[in-house]
Amino acid sequence: AQSVAQPEDQVNVAEGNPLTVKCTYSVSGNPYLFWYVQYPNRGLQFLLKYITGDNLVKGSYGFEAEFNKSQTSFHLKKPSALVSDSALYFCAVRDGGYNQGGKLIFGQGTELSVKP
């Protein structure tokens, strides 16, 4: 079965510093990977995805992610963190093709805290 793991429950970063939120995956076949952000009492917002092609994927709000096949990782990064980036971040992998449901399986989430 497809799965993702987020090894850190919480990441603390100072504003202006680079941030990294880690994700590793376990899949059979080619992985379709995603990052989402959730603010308190809100739904999830899509940030970016890796389907194929360049290993560095750029997304919304200045975020990017690096796909590393040898390390089975898909870490989320941002060069300069903002206080407003503080939120809960989820990594996800698709399980099954679109006609089979195309379900997203999520990691447990990482709480990002950016301090001024």
Partner 1 sequence: SQTIHQWPATLVQPVGSPLSLECTVEGTSNPNLYWYRQAAGRGLQLLFYSVGIGQISSEVPQNLSASRPQDRQFILSSKKLLLSDSGFYLCAWTRTFEAFFGQGTRLTVV
For residues 72-91, which are near partner 1 according to CB under 8 A? 88, 90
Contacts of 39 (CB under 8 A, 6+ apart): 45, 87, 88
Determine, following the binding rule CB under 8 A, whether residue 94 of this chain makes contact with partner 1.
yes
Q: Are 111 and 10 in contact (CB under 8 A)?
A: yes
CB of 16 to partner 1, least distance (A): 27
For residues 6-65, which are near partner 1 according to CB under 8 A? 32, 34, 36, 41-46, 49, 51
- How many CB atoms are located within 10 Å of the residue 94 CB? 19
Coil, helix or strand at residue 61: helix
CB of 45 to partner 1, least distance (A): 8
79 phi-psi bin (left φ>0, alpha ψ -120 to 50, beta other): alpha
Nearer to partner 1, 28 or 99 (CB): 99
Residues that bind partner 1 (CB under 8 A): 32, 34, 36, 41-46, 49, 51, 88, 90, 94, 98-106, 108-109, 111
